[in-house]
Chain A
Amino acid sequence: DGGITQSPKYLFRKEGQNVTLSCEQNLNHDAMYWYRQDPGQGLRLIYYSQIVNDFQKGDIAEGYSVSREKKESFPLTVTSAQKNPTAFYLCASSIDWTGYLDTQYFGPGTRLTVL
């Protein structure tokens, strides 16, 4: 089955530690995205990647880092510089970078809690 997987489903981290969230897709999509969801807010874009070895900051990139070394993988690192990391994180992909018309395919999400 084609799709997007995110792991782990739940993640706990001590304050001051970096943590990496996994996102893998086997849809052969060029573009990948990371969103954050907080209560009462819409999905907010953290980082996006149009193609392998390229990525751009979204609206709330501070305290996060990404890499795109392989087409199918787009891991997100939440660093200790992120002031409010507790949130639900969604990864998505789309066929290519036409932007507006592309439907995004989402993973199941990772809920990160900082203790």
Chain B
Amino acid sequence: ILNVEQSPQSLHVQEGDSTNFTCSFPSSNFYALHWYRWETAKSPEALFVMTLNGDEKKKGRISATLNTKEGYSYLYIKGSQPEDSATYLCASGNSGTYKYIFGTGTRLKVLA
């Protein structure tokens, strides 16, 4: 089983701060990377799916970048708000496995 790692495990930021966290995945046979946002007591929701090296996706104040050669993706949140508090999951798909491998998530708490 291939490992997907996320860092940090958790972080607290003040409202208005910008923040970012990392998803590391095996670069060999890479096919796609997904980011999900999981609020407490709710279902995980899809944020982005990324496939191309150098890809950058944006949704409001949240953006993500992808480096498939070195095997990492960054998720950025600009001007964090309390409603951004959630666990952010990444999942990597590699050709030949037909399965996603999920990271353990980064738990973000935005303090008002």
Contact = CB atoms under 8 A, between A and B. Distances in A.
Contacts of B36: 106
A1 interface: no
Contacts of A90: 43-44
Interface string B5-40: 000000000000000000000000001101010000
Contacts of A107: 43
A42 B91 CA distance: 9
Contacts of A4: 43
Interface size class of chain A, counting residues whose CB lies under 8 Å from the partner chain: 20 to 34
Given A42-B101, A43-B102, A45-B99, A100 B31 contact: yes
Contact of B104 (A40, A100, A106): A40
B99 A58 contact: yes
B44 A106 contact: yes
A104 B49 CA distance: 10
A106 B95 CA distance: 23
A35 B99 CA distance: 12
B24 to A, nearest CB: 12
B68 to A, nearest CB: 13
Contacts of A28: none
Interface of A: 4, 35, 40-45, 48, 58-59, 90, 97, 99-101, 103-109
Interface of B: 1, 4, 31-32, 34, 36, 41-46, 49, 51, 89, 91, 93, 95, 98-105
